[in-house]
Amino acid sequence: MAFFYYLYLAAHNQAYPLLFNSFRPTYQTLVRWNSEGQGATEILHYNQVLLRLIQSGYTEAAVAQDNARITWSLNDLLR
């Protein structure tokens, strides 16, 4: 849960943390669903790498990492 909040802060956009808090119940539900399966470890890895890339200012690498996470999530949902 805190990951997304810190991700938004790392992006230096003050609107994202406010939006995040507005959708907190939805995020909590999604996090619960993700943590029930075996994909939680994989998602955690993608998120940790993404956060480090954003904090380091590697924009293109961060976008590529986020796209990889989205692709992995979609493939996981379609199984």
Q: Where are the domains of the chain?
A: 2-78
Contact 8, 20 (CB under 8 A): yes
User: What pLDDT is stored for residue 53 in this prediction?
Assistant: 92
Position 35: which residue type? S
How many residues comprise the chain?
79
User: What pLDDT is stored for residue 34 in this prediction?
Assistant: 65
Q: pLDDT in tens for each of the 79 residues of the chain?
A: 567 767 777 777 777 777 777 877 887 777 777 666 666 778 788 889 999 999 999 999 999 998 988 888 888 777 7
Contact 39, 76 (CB under 8 A): yes
Cα 48 to Cα 53: distance, rounded to the nearest angstrom: 9
User: What pLDDT is stored for residue 62 in this prediction?
Assistant: 92
Burial class (CB in 10 A: 0-12, 13-18, 19+), 52: middle
User: What pLDDT is stored for residue 63 in this prediction?
Assistant: 92
